[in-house]
């Protein structure tokens, strides 16, 4: 990073005093000069200071800088060493705060306070030209795949004659004699030289264009290894043909140079094809939104493109069609298939007042709905954006990989040099060149660089289709490391709204509930609404409604005097409670339910219990989580009786109840100290501090925006089984990462000595440069293919 003059937006400025404080913060930085803060256009200028220091100083002063976020597509990113070099090159551009490259997507994300063009110029100079990445669509590798296929086909066409001329005689000796007799030995050698030169200068030119500058800057990468290996084989053979007196009698290895490039291009093509499939999850999500929608107008309906829909428009969805944008149903009723959002296969009934989301499918009925979120603000678009962001994230394990690969290529160059020297002394220059070239080719660290990002990309994409959005990609690793899963109660393990759960009465239940509904229909209290919802209908013959805050309500319903309230309300109206009914109400109260007493014509006839019912399957989900060896805890702001009751039903041993938001944070710290990393599952505003404080925060379906921002994982379904799916996806992804890493590092460790010829004195084999190139290419293909297995993962 170079300290140039930086001009950038700044927030938090309201007056001249703000300007003074911001300028003071910048001026205090060592080396700062030309400090200017402009209140009119909300910009700041400073020279002589590096961008990260500027960002930190302004953030601490309360006037944060607003760096420009840019995403670039870097097609020539080919290995782990390339990733490191690209990041370092971008980070040195003026104004760059941080740069992060992803080998799986060939994408570079940069935050800068300077000129974005400087980043592109720096990359161009380093041999990695970049273009703007389309952030509104999923990555599509079709263009790259087609280009790589064309390069491979051209290389193969030029290499085939070279290979046949040099190696065909080993398979069928008369072929060699026939070619020599037809063309002459010298002509055959010159033809091989020309064809191989065309391979290296044409389809293989990129290896030299990127690899040689890396060597000259003492930052060799995979392309440098290929350029050295193929270039050494070609130059040695060219000297042997054109200047035969310079070398002792020896063979030529044009076929090695040509086959190396061709096989590596084959591997790149196969890798690009496979990598193109890794973005299918996000592409499928984006494709769920229809291109058009039927908008309701005064004259009927009109078909309009998606971009023309505005908030407030009323749209109509017919059976089998997809909802175009997020909205609220105004008319009609139909089951809606929400599997693409929640991972749940059972359609959800939607009617007036219910929220529907873009991409979901109306199954049997017709719905009219008013648009509430359009474009990038729909839930579908946010899911795609979150998933793409997670796919570009890095896991903590990658830090180890990066440290190893930083030393790996230089170490390979040392091994190749030693190999060349030893074989030169023992067997002459020909075997020395072959052995050194084999080492250089077999050691290309493509598979190492792809091992982690490919698994992340496929794993997060598959998780999105199951309703688990890894908002922050590193949560993939932290979630499987969690030893404790702590749940909030209300809205997480319970449905989050009161419902009638207990009834004890001396009269017909249906008639009782209709009478109660007649009274409570005039109230907006949540408990009243739960009682109304429990009745099959509400009587229309209702008169004299009167409510007493905190106690109850009464009315004349179908000619009967009906009182609904607590024991104090009945006592106020001189109604004596029945001991058995009162005992039931008191017992329910001990479990956290709200008891409601009912009197009809002056007689206590019923006790009702209203509580927040458990979500379906909560008990089975908790038991399944416990079977994974994790400790389960319940942290709730509700009264201890209610929390203990839920915990007893679900089999949760650790209960921390009656705590405020800061108490939840303290509870998480205590659980971490006793058991290890903690995952917390919540949904409300009061859960946001705990979601942020946990090692991994999971916000469940319907969570508030604040909770979603604080969380690491967003679960689109409120079903507690979604937590288990997220944990399972995390474990499967990390297992896949380690499989790839073990393969990539183990493969290189084992085959480098074989390529160097260590086994030859013992009668063992030695890899030829051609076989080394094939093995290296297939190693990368293996890593990508193994990662693609995650697309088929499903909860057991």
> For every residue of 527-584, which 3-state class applies, written as one string?
HHHHHHHHCCCCCCCEEEEEEECCCEEEEEECCEEEEEECHHHHHHCCCCCCHHHHHH
| 144 occurs within a structural domain | no
The confidence score (pLDDT) of residue 79 equals 65
Measured in degrees and rounded to the nearest 5, phi and psi for residue 115 equal -80, 120
Tens digits of residue pLDDT in 455-479: 887 888 888 778 888 876 678 888 9
* Same domain (yes/no): 674, 570: no
Question: For residue 645, how many other CB atoms are within 10 A of its CB?
Answer: 19
Of 76-80, 222-226, 602-606, the poorest mean pLDDT is in 76-80
Tens digits of residue pLDDT in 545-588: 888 877 888 999 988 999 998 888 898 899 999 999 989 988 88
| 315 occurs within a structural domain | yes
* Same domain (yes/no): 551, 534: yes
CATH number of the domain residue 536 falls in = 3.40.1110.10
**Structure tokens given for 350:** 């939607």
Reply yes or no on whether the pLDDT at 380 is more than 80: no
* Same domain (yes/no): 618, 637: yes
Domain total for the chain? 5
The confidence score (pLDDT) of residue 462 equals 84
**Structure tokens given for 109:** 């994300």
Cβ-based neighbours of 66, under 8 Å, separated by 6 or more: 8, 9, 10, 11
Tens digits of residue pLDDT in 479-490: 988 999 999 887
| 412 occurs within a structural domain | no
Read off the pLDDT of each residue in 707-726 and give the average, rounded to a whole number.
80
CA–CA gap between residue 354 and residue 335 (Å, rounded): 12
Cβ-based neighbours of 102, under 8 Å, separated by 6 or more: 83, 108, 109, 391, 392, 453, 457
Reply yes or no on whether the pLDDT at 598 is more than 90: yes
Tens digits of residue pLDDT in 719-768: 888 899 899 999 998 899 889 888 877 877 788 888 888 888 887 777 77
* Structure-token match 């064309």, residue found: 150
* Same domain (yes/no): 535, 675: no
| 232 occurs within a structural domain | no
DSSP-derived 3-state class of residue 33: strand
Comparison of pLDDT for 269 and 579, the residue scoring more: 579
Most confident of 233-247, 275-289, 546-560: 546-560
Cβ-based neighbours of 12, under 8 Å, separated by 6 or more: 18, 22, 62, 63, 64
Query: Which residues face 574 on adjacent strands?
Result: none
* Strand order across the beta sheet in which 631-635 lies: 468-470, 713-715, 696-699, 678-682, 484-487, 631-635, 654-656
Reply yes or no on whether the pLDDT at 139 is more than 80: no
* Same domain (yes/no): 543, 594: yes
Q: Which of 678, 636, 672 is nearest to 657 (CA)?
A: 636
Reply yes or no on whether the pLDDT at 138 is more than 50: no
Cβ-based neighbours of 757, under 8 Å, separated by 6 or more: 419, 423, 431, 435, 766
* Same domain (yes/no): 602, 648: no
| 756 occurs within a structural domain | no
Read off the pLDDT of each residue in 204-212 and give the average, rounded to a whole number.
84
Q: At what angle do helices 446-465 and 397-427 cross, to 10 degrees?
A: 150
**Structure tokens given for 192:** 């091989």
* Same domain (yes/no): 100, 111: yes
- Cβ burial, residue 304 (10 Å; 0-12/13-18/19+): middle
The confidence score (pLDDT) of residue 1 equals 42
The confidence score (pLDDT) of residue 470 equals 82
CA 549 to chain CA centroid, Å, is: 49
Average pLDDT value over all residues in the chain:
82
Show which of 711, 727, 755 is a domain's final residue: 711
**Structure tokens given for 362:** 């109306």
Show which of 570, 592, 611 is a domain's final residue: 611
Q: Are 405 and 449 in contact (CB under 8 A)?
A: yes
The confidence score (pLDDT) of residue 599 equals 94
Percent of the chain at pLDDT > 90 equals 17
Domain range holding 44? 6-66
* Structure-token match 């043909």, residue found: 241
Show which of 670, 686, 711 is a domain's final residue: 711
CA–CA gap between residue 85 and residue 78 (Å, rounded): 11
Task: Write a three-state SS string for 168-237.
Answer: HHHHCHHHHHHHHHHHCHHHHHHHHHHHHHHHHHCCCHHHHHHHHHHHHCCCCCHHHHHHHHHHHHHHHH
Q: Is 637 left (phi over 0), alpha (psi -120 to 50) or beta?
A: alpha
CA–CA gap between residue 286 and residue 283 (Å, rounded): 5
* Same domain (yes/no): 674, 648: yes
CA–CA gap between residue 444 and residue 221 (Å, rounded): 8
CA 732 to chain CA centroid, Å, is: 14
Reply yes or no on whether the pLDDT at 435 is more than 90: no
CA 507 to chain CA centroid, Å, is: 56
Q: Which of 539, 542, 477, 500 is nearest to 733 (CA)?
A: 477
Tens digits of residue pLDDT in 606-663: 999 988 888 888 999 999 999 999 999 999 877 788 788 889 999 998 999 888 878 8
Q: Are 71 and 392 in contact (CB under 8 A)?
A: no
* Same domain (yes/no): 490, 583: no
Dmax over Cα atoms in the chain, in whole Å? 124
Give buried/exposed letters for 476-500 (b at 16+ CB in 10 A, else e).
bbbbbebbbbbbbbbbbbbbbebbb
Res. 371 pLDDT band, cuts 50 70 90:
very high
CA–CA gap between residue 329 and residue 372 (Å, rounded): 10
Measured in degrees and rounded to the nearest 5, phi and psi for residue 445 equal -90, 35
Q: What is the DSSP string of 472-515?
A: STTHHHHHHH-SEEEE-IIIIIB-SS-EEEEEEESS-HHHHHHH
* Same domain (yes/no): 551, 697: no
Tens digits of residue pLDDT in 2-14: 457 888 888 877 6
The confidence score (pLDDT) of residue 129 equals 86
Through-space distance between the first and last CA atoms of the chain, rounded to whole angstroms = 49
Residues labelled as active-site residues: 488
| 196 occurs within a structural domain | no
The single-letter DSSP state of residue 377 is G
CA–CA gap between residue 686 and residue 198 (Å, rounded): 67
Q: Are 662 and 689 in contact (CB under 8 A)?
A: yes
Of 174-188, 387-401, 776-790, the poorest mean pLDDT is in 387-401
* Same domain (yes/no): 53, 76: no
779-782's contacts with Cβ under 8 Å and 24+ in sequence apart are 779/446, 779/447, 779/743, 779/744, 779/747, 780/267, 780/271, 780/446, 780/447, 780/450, 781/267, 781/270, 781/271, 781/274, 782/447, 782/743
Cα dist from 279 to 80, 462, 715, 733, whole Å: 20, 10, 20, 16
Q: Are 367 and 329 in contact (CB under 8 A)?
A: yes
| 363 occurs within a structural domain | yes
CATH number of the domain residue 10 falls in = 3.30.70.100
* Same domain (yes/no): 485, 524: no
| 153 occurs within a structural domain | no
Question: For residue 305, how many other CB atoms are within 10 A of its CB?
Answer: 11
The confidence score (pLDDT) of residue 316 equals 92
Reply yes or no on whether the pLDDT at 305 is more than 80: yes
């Amino acid at each position: 990073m170079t300290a140039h003059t930086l001009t950038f937006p700044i927030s938090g400025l309201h007056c001249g005093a703000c300007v003074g404080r911001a300028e003071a913060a910048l001026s205090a930085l060592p080396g700062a000069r030309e400090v200017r803060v402009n209140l009119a256009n909300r910009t700041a200028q400073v020279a002589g200071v590096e961008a990260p220091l500027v960002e930190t100083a302004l953030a601490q002063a309360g006037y944060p800088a607003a760096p420009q976020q840019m995403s670039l597509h870097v097609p020539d990113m080919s290995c782990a060493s390339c990733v490191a070099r690209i990041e370092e090159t971008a980070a040195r551009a003026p104004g760059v705060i941080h740069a992060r490259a992803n080998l799986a997507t060939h994408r570079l994300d940069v935050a800068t306070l300077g000129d974005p063009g400087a980043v592109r110029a720096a990359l161009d100079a380093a041999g990695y030209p970049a273009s703007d990445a389309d952030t509104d669509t999923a990555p599509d590798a079709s263009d790259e795949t087609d280009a790589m296929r064309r390069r491979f086909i051209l290389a193969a066409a030029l290499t085939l004659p070279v290979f046949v001329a040099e190696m065909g005689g080993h398979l069928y000796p008369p072929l060699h004699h026939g070619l020599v007799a037809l063309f002459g030995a010298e002509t055959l050698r010159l033809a091989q030289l020309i064809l191989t030169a065309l391979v290296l200068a044409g389809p293989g030119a990129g290896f030299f264009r990127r690899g040689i500058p890396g060597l000259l800057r003492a930052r060799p990468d995979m392309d440098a290894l290929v350029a050295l290996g193929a270039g050494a084989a070609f130059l040695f053979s060219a000297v042997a043909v054109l200047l035969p007196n310079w070398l002792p009698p020896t063979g030529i290895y044009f076929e090695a140079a040509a086959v190396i490039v061709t096989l590596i291009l084959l591997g790149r093509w196969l890798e690009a094809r496979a990598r193109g499939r890794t973005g299918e999850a996000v592409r499928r999500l984006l494709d769920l939104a229809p291109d058009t929608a039927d908008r309701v107008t005064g004259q009927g309906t009109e078909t309009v493109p998606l971009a023309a829909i505005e908030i407030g428009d009323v749209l109509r969805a017919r059976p089998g069609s997809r909802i175009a944008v997020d909205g609220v149903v105004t008319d009609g009723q139909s089951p809606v298939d929400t599997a693409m959002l929640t991972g749940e296969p059972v359609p959800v009934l939607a009617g007036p007042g219910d929220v529907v989301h873009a991409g979901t499918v109306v199954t049997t009925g017709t719905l009219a709905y008013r648009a509430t979120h359009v474009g990038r603000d729909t839930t579908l678009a946010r899911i795609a954006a979150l998933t793409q962001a997670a796919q570009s994230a890095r896991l903590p394990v990658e830090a180890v990989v990066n440290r190893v690969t930083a030393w790996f290529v230089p170490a390979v160059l040392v091994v190749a040099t030693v190999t060349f020297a030893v074989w030169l002394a023992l067997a002459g220059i020909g075997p020395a060149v072959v052995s050194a070239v084999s080492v250089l080719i077999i050691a290309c660290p493509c598979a190492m660089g792809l091992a982690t990002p490919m698994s992340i990309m496929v794993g997060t994409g598959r998780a999105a289709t199951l309703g688990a959005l890894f908002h922050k990609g590193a949560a993939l690793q932290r979630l499987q490391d969690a030893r404790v899963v702590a749940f909030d109660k209300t809205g997480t393990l319970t449905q989050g709204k009161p419902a009638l759960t207990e009834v004890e009465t001396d009269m017909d239940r249906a008639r009782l509930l209709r009478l109660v509904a007649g009274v409570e229909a005039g109230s907006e209290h949540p408990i009243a609404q739960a009682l109304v919802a429990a009745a099959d209908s509400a009587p229309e013959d209702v008169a004299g409604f009167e409510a007493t805050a905190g106690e109850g309500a009464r009315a004349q319903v179908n000619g009967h005097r009906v009182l609904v309230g607590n024991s104090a309300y009945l006592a106020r109206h001189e109604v004596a409670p029945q001991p058995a009914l009162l005992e039931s109400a008191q017992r329910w109260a001990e479990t956290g339910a709200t008891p409601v007493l009912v009197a009809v014509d002056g007689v206590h006839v019923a006790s009702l219990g209203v509580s927040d019912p458990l979500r379906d399957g909560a008990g089975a989900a908790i038991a399944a989580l416990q079977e994974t060896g994790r400790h389960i805890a319940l942290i709730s702001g509700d009264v201890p009786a209610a929390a203990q009751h839920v915990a007893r039903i679900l089999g949760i041993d650790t209960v921390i109840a009656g705590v405020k938001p800061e108490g939840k944070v303290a509870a998480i710290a205590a659980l971490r100290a006793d058991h290890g990393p903690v995952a917390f599952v919540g949904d409300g505003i009061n859960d946001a501090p705990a979601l942020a404080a946990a090692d991994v925060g999971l916000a469940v379906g319907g969570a508030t925006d604040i909770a979603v921002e604080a969380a690491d994982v967003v679960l689109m379904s409120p079903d507690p089984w979604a937590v288990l799916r997220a944990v399972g996806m995390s474990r499967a992804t990390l297992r896949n990462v380690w499989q790839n890493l073990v393969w990539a590092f183990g493969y290189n460790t084992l085959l480098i000595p074989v390529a160097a010829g260590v086994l030859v004195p013992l009668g063992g084999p030695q890899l030829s440069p051609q076989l080394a190139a094939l093995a290296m290419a297939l190693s990368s293909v293996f890593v990508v293919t193994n990662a693609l297995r995650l697309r088929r993962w499903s909860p057991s």
